[in-house]
Structure formats: C-alpha cells, structure tokens
Structure 1
Amino acid sequence: MEGPRLPPSATSHESDDDKPDDPPSVWHRPTSSLPALPSLDLPPHHWRNHSLNLSPVPTTPFSSLPPPDSIPELETYVVQVPRDQVYWTPPPEHAKFLEKRRNNPEKNKKSGCSKRLMWFFIILVLFGLTLGALILILHFVFNPALPVFAVEKFSVKPSNFEVTLRADNPTSNMGVSYMMKKNGVVSLTYKDKSLGRGKFPRLSQVASGTDRIHVKLEGSTKNAAMPPRGSKLPVSLVLKIELKADYEAGPVKRNKELVVTCDVKVKGLLDAKKVEIVSENCESEFKN
C-alpha cells in the first residue's frame, strides 16, 4: 500500500537533474490561522498484539501530512422584511401596570366588585327609565275619556219612575263596561228629598260607541213637598248615578270609579200623563 505523499523538505536529497542554482523548496505551515488538530493516540501495545486488525499502523508523523483545505470566508446574508409587517414592542408602562395588578390581588378583587356594582346600577337605572317611558306612553295613548250621559225621556208611574239615558263612550281606542259598584246607588231627589232609588243595569260599549239604557227607580212623589197641582213652573230634579267603569284595550286595562250627576227640569210631573223635559245637564267625574 502506498503511503501518504510527503511534502518537499529542505533536508531531502537533491536529484542529479536539479540545478545547483535552484533555491530549495520550503513549505511553511500557517499555524496561527488553523485550529489545533485533535491528537491521535496510538492504541496500547496489548491491544495491538491481540487485535484482528492486521493492517500496519501508519507511522507517518503529523508534520508530513498535507495541509487541509483552506477555511472558507464568512459570508454575509441580507434579510429583507416586508414593509407591511410591523413588529411592535409594548411600552414598559404596560409591564409596570401588570406588575402592580399582580402584586395587589385584593385591590384587583375590590375593583372588580365595584365595577360589577356599577354595571348593576346602570342596568337597573336603564330598566327603570325604560319602564317609566313605557308606562308614560301607555298613559297618554290609552287614557280613558269621561263618558257623556244625557236624559232623553222621563216618565212617572204610581210607584216608580222610569228614566231613559243615552251613554256615549268618547274613548276611541278602548272599550268600556259599566256596572254598579259596591254600595253604589242610583237616586232621584227633589230639594234634597229622596223620590226614588234603583239600580243601573250592566252596560258594555265599544270604543266610540253610543247606547241607550233604561233605569227604573222605585218610589213616588207622595212623601215630597211638590208644587201644587196645576202649577206650570218647572220642577228641578237631581239624578245621581255611582258606577264602576272598566276600560280595556287588549292587554291594557284601566279601572275607574265614575259618578254621574244630572240636573233635570221637567213640567207636568203631577198632572200630565207625559212629562216634558225642559232642560237637562249631566256631568261625569272620575273618582280615581
């Protein structure tokens, strides 16, 4: 096997063909520019004697090895970052703020509770304002108007009086039902003296409806100091009705207590078979 090629040395013998004037070939090894090579230790003697490796161990010194390849120079790379990519670093104030929050857990807990209470009160106030606005709208939109009553006919019988009334419901968006309220009464008086008492029959009206109703009052003129027979002077009577009015428009309901007072002037209350109504005026009033 051919051993490694030896470099030219200053101690080697010159050949006969070399000219005496040629300078000797000398090889210089730059030891300062190359890293130190790892030392190659020979195997121990006993291992060499019993090893199956029969190849001869090279005995060429390291100084006779050829020089290694030159170390490549370091290269410089230029990395271009697109302009639309912005790498942002948070300011140090954020780190200080987070550190304070981390160091004060109780304060953070109290701050969270106060924020929850604040939001609760804000939601409560908004809910109250919404509810108030809704009630106000319903109050103005579904606001019952006072009904209008009028006496159209009045007649006298031996033991009772009969009155025909016209009832108008001016509320355009709500129907109404009239009924006698508890302990309510329909009374007819003359100079604060009772002539008759009766009951108002139940009446239901649609929005903007008009109906006629007949009221019968038990009583007579015998117990009252009436004008003498044949007098042509009108007699002033007072008809008073106490009712309960229930207004309704879908889910919206309004309950009212109603008092109707009618001042009626009539002629022929005692003599004529047919009583003439000279004038009448009915006024309605809500009690609640």
Structure 2
Amino acid sequence: MEGPRRPPSATAPESDDDKPDDPPSIWHRPTSSLPALPSQDAPPHHWRNHSLNLSIIPATTPSSLPPPDSIPEIETYVVQVPRDQVYWTPPPEHAKYIKKRRNNPEKNKKSGCFKRLMWFFITLVVFGILLGAIILILHFVFTPALPVFTVERLTVKTSNFEVTLRAENPTSNMGVIYMMKKNEVVSLMYKNKSLGRGKFPKMSQAASSSNKVNVKLDGSTKNAVMPPRGSKQPMSMVLMMELNAEYEAGPVKKNKDVVVTCDVKVKGLLDAKKVEIVSENCETEFKN
C-alpha cells in the first residue's frame, strides 16, 4: 500500500505525468501529527455584540427610517461687568433690625408718628427762625426817618389864616402818605388861646423828596388879647398838628403817628397881610 503523496516542490521539474487534464491532487495531513490546540471558552458578550454579522439584512427604503433627532440650537450670551463694580451683601445686623421691626408693628407705628411730629416741629421752628430773620432785616433796612417840616409863610385874612409849610421826607427807600387822623385838627395858638383851626390836606411824597403844602385855618385874632397896633415886638405862636404817616416800599408798609410842633415868631400880624417870620422851629416825633 502506498503512503501519502507529498506536494510537489516549487523547484521540482515538471514531469510528463503532470498534465492539465489530471485532476488536482489533494494533500492531507494525518490528524495525529497536528499539535493539540488549547481549549477556548465562549467569546465574551461584548465581543459577540460587536462581531461581524454576516446575516442578510433586508433592504429598507429611506422613507421607512425614523427621522434623525434635531440638534438643539445653542444660544450665547455676553455679560459685561465693570471692573470697579463691587458686589456686597448687607451685614447681618440689618437682617436683625428688619426682623425686630416686623415683630413690633405697634412700636413701629408709634415711632413713625413721633418722627413725623418731630419733623413737623423742626419745620415750624426753622420757618419761624427764617420769618424772624426776614422781619428783622426788613426792620433795619426799611426804617422810616422823621419827616421835617418848615413854616415858610403866614398870611392873615379876615376870617382865616393860611400857613405855607414845606414837608420833607428824608427816608431814602420808602415813600410816605400824610393824612389827618380822625377827630384831629391843626391849630394855631397864641398864649394858650386858639387863633385858628383847620385840616391838613392829604399829601403823598416820594422817597427823599420835599413838597409845599398850604393849610387853611378858620379863625381870627378877635378871640385873643393881641398887642396894640404898631407894636414892633415879635409875637410867639405855636402851630400844632398830629398826622398819620403811612410809609410804603413795595409789599412793606409801616404806619406812624407823627406829632409836629412849630414855634413861630412873627411881626406885623395886625398891620400887614403878609406877616414877617422872625424865627421858626418845628420839632417832629413818632408817637408809636
């Protein structure tokens, strides 16, 4: 019996017996000649899952496939923070204070009322101080000065006297209005006897101005013992009047009672229509 045939060598010459019509030779190696292979366990589960699956997969159309999940859009925000900005949290004492106020609502209400009253009182005090300061300033700035009166002429007629006066207002920042007080008259006296009585006409004067005013007095020399005619001795008479002077400068108004007393010495009171005034002196004062 022949043994197994060996495979031809690559360098062996080709014999005549090896023709293309011959069937291919088959070489077998005895099983007993192979080394024993080590026993292997079943492959791991993940190997089986990722192993090649050579089974036939049925063809599917694109329309039967599920649509892919949409990828959400990611929005980007830019936040700019100043470098010098400091963030801080209130101290814990503030939380205690707030808690205390919440726990005592009645006390908080009383405290709020007290604070409002205190602020109202402070406002009144401040307002009073400001008002007092304004009044004090107005008192010193707008202070009326005493008017000045001068007797310029005295004329004697049959039943009356006519006295010409010059009135001057020395107040530089206030005008004045003169008028007679109620139940008051201008009187001309000689030795405590009245020679004539009359009214002072209403007169307005600007600041730092002077005006003439004529005062008519009803009376005659018959009621008094006069010196004989032709006597050259001066006669002393007194002209008295009490006026109400209303000073005004814008919204500032001040009322003053002015008392005027004029000592006048004259000559020729009985012999001439125009009497010569030898001397005169008028004094004024504020009654209030």
Other-structure match for 1:100:
100
The reply on whether 1:65 has 2:36 as its aligned counterpart is no
Shift, 1:218, TM fit: 1.0
| Structure 2 length-normalised TM | 0.69
Runs of 5+ unmatched residues, structure 2: 1-33, 48-80
Q: Structure 1 residues 65, 136: closer, same or farther in 2, change over 3 A?
A: same
Other-structure match for 2:187:
187
Distance 2:82 2:285 in 1: 84
More displaced 10-residue stretch of structure 1: 229-238 or 211-220: 229-238
Question: Where do residues 210-225 of structure 1 align in structure 2 (5 Å cutoff)?
Answer: 210-225=210-225
Aligned AA (1:283): E
Contact 2:157/2:273 (8 A) holds in 1: no
Distance 1:233 1:214 in 2: 27
* SS of residue in 2 equivalent to 1:100: helix
How high is the sequence identity, in percent, across the aligned residues?
75
Distance 2:176 2:187 in 1: 23
| Structure 1 length-normalised TM | 0.69
Distance 1:251 1:83 in 2: 59
Question: Where do residues 169-188 of structure 1 align in structure 2 (5 Å cutoff)?
Answer: 169-188=169-188
Aligned AA (2:149): F
Shift, 1:211, TM fit: 0.8
Other-structure match for 1:54:
none
The reply on whether 1:126 has 2:106 as its aligned counterpart is no
* SS of residue in 2 equivalent to 1:230: coil
**Matched residue pairs, number?**
222
Aligned AA (2:176): V
* SS of residue in 2 equivalent to 1:88: coil
Distance 1:137 1:86 in 2: 51
Question: Where do residues 27-106 of structure 1 align in structure 2 (5 Å cutoff)?
Answer: 64-66=44-46, 84=84, 86-106=86-106
* Alignment RMSD (CA, Å): 2.7
* SS of residue in 2 equivalent to 1:207: coil
Distance 1:82 1:149 in 2: 81
Distance 1:84 1:268 in 2: 102
Distance 1:161 1:232 in 2: 20
Other-structure match for 1:231:
231
Aligned AA (2:108): N
Distance 1:284 1:99 in 2: 75
Q: Structure 1 residues 85, 176: closer, same or farther in 2, change over 3 A?
A: closer
The reply on whether 1:260 has 2:260 as its aligned counterpart is yes
Distance 1:165 1:82 in 2: 85
Other-structure match for 1:110:
110
Distance 2:35 2:211 in 1: 156
* SS of residue in 2 equivalent to 1:155: strand
Distance 1:86 1:226 in 2: 105
Distance 1:148 1:124 in 2: 43
Contact 2:189/2:238 (8 A) holds in 1: yes
Aligned AA (2:254): R
Distance 1:243 1:152 in 2: 19
Distance 1:133 1:252 in 2: 15
Distance 2:175 2:82 in 1: 75
* SS of residue in 2 equivalent to 1:263: strand
Q: Structure 1 residues 247, 83: closer, same or farther in 2, change over 3 A?
A: closer
Q: Structure 1 residues 82, 201: closer, same or farther in 2, change over 3 A?
A: closer
Q: Structure 1 residues 99, 217: closer, same or farther in 2, change over 3 A?
A: same
Runs of 5+ unmatched residues, structure 1: 1-14, 27-59, 68-80
